[in-house]
């Protein structure tokens, strides 16, 4: 069996003396898609952020290609950040920069020798992919929540990552914009990118996830495959009920 690209080993996380997730162990195979599902407030977004190295566990380890993220050297961590991109539920765009700067900064950090002309080309190409056609020299506050999500997705794709962490990535989008991003993620799947995502949309969960991990009350409740959902109506009903809570 191939080494997982991401592995959580006995991971717990507490904030302000409150345990948010406890003793989570799971693996994500390279080139596969994993959905984290469960009731609101159950800990799934925290698990996603732990897997992405955005939170440091209070117990256990998070491994990227067998290396503990918390113990990486600066160079190893930079390589991990270049390969793994995050789309946050609230978009998390930098409010003191315009949209162009938000997209340019990752290129400056990870490809410091890239020319301005090449950066412009990469930004133009990525914005075309996500379907954003308006002014890019404005601040994020001037955009709707849906438009901010498009820019956040563009920022995640700007480095052409091999690993995507998506937190409620179609939320706040109209149907056309959501369908465009769904199409982009399908393309990433076809190109064997690894995708870990949180969603309350059962259609997305059923169609995208190779495996579904249910997080309830901060604990890993169960991991199932897409085929098991298709074959077992009781599982489908359980997941639908869980994500609606």
Orientation angle between helical segments 116-130 and 145-157, nearest 10 degrees: 130
Give the residue ranges of the chain where pLDDT is below 70: 1-2, 232, 235, 238-245
pLDDT for the residue numbered 145 = 82
Give the pLDDT score at 244.
54
List Cα–Cα distances, 179 to 8, 70, 173, 176, 182, in angstroms. 31, 36, 9, 5, 5
Phi-psi domain of 224 (left: phi exceeds 0; alpha: psi -120 through 50; beta: other): beta
Give CA–CA dist 185/124, Å, rounded: 19
Per-residue DSSP letter, 138: S
CA-CA distance, 30 to 88, in Å (whole number)? 21
Q: Residues 95, 98, 103, 105: is their CA dihedral positive or negative? A: negative
* Measured torsion, CA atoms of residues 61, 154, 210, 62, in degrees rounded to the nearest 10: 0
Instruction: Give the residue extent of every domain in the chain.
Output: 6-90+164-244
Pick the CATH number of 6-90+164-244 from 3.40.50.300, 3.40.630.10, 3.90.105.10, 3.40.50.970: 3.40.50.300
Two structure tokens written together for 167: 């937190």
End-to-end CA distance of the chain: 36
pLDDT of residue 228: 82
Distances (CA, A) of 79 to 27, 76, 162, 163: 20, 5, 11, 12
Residue 29 pLDDT: 94
- Collect all residues with Cβ–Cβ distance below 8 Å to 148 and sequence separation of at least 6: 91, 93, 140, 172
Label the pairing between strands 33-37 and 211-216: parallel
Pairing of strands 33-37, 194-198: parallel
């Amino acid at each position: 069996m191939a080494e997982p690209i991401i592995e959580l080993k006995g991971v717990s996380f507490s904030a302000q003396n409150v345990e948010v997730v406890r003793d989570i162990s799971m693996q994500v195979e390279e080139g596969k898609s994993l959905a984290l599902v469960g009731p609101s407030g159950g800990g799934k977004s925290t698990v996603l952020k732990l897997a992405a190295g955005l939170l440091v566990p209070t117990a256990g380890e998070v491994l990227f290609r067998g290396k503990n993220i918390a113990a990486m050297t600066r160079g190893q961590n930079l390589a991990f950040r270049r390969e793994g991109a995050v789309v946050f539920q609230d978009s998390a765009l930098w409010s003191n920069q315009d949209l162009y700067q938000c997209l340019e900064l990752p290129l400056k950090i990870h490809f410091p020798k890239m020319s301005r002309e090449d950066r412009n080309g990469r930004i133009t190409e990525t914005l075309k992919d996500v379907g954003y056609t308006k002014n890019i020299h404005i601040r994020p506050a001037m955009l709707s929540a849906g438009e901010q999500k498009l820019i956040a997705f563009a920022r995640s794709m700007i480095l052409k990552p091999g690993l995507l962490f998506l937190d409620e990535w179609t939320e706040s989008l109209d149907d056309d914009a959501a369908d465009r991003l769904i199409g982009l993620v399908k393309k990433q799947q076809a190109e064997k990118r690894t995708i870990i995502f949180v969603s309350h949309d059962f259609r997305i969960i059923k169609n995208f996830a190779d495996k579904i991990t249910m997080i309830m009350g901060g604990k890993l409740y169960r991991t199932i495959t897409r085929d098991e959902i298709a074959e077992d109506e009781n599982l489908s009903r359980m997941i639908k009920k869980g994500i609606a809570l």
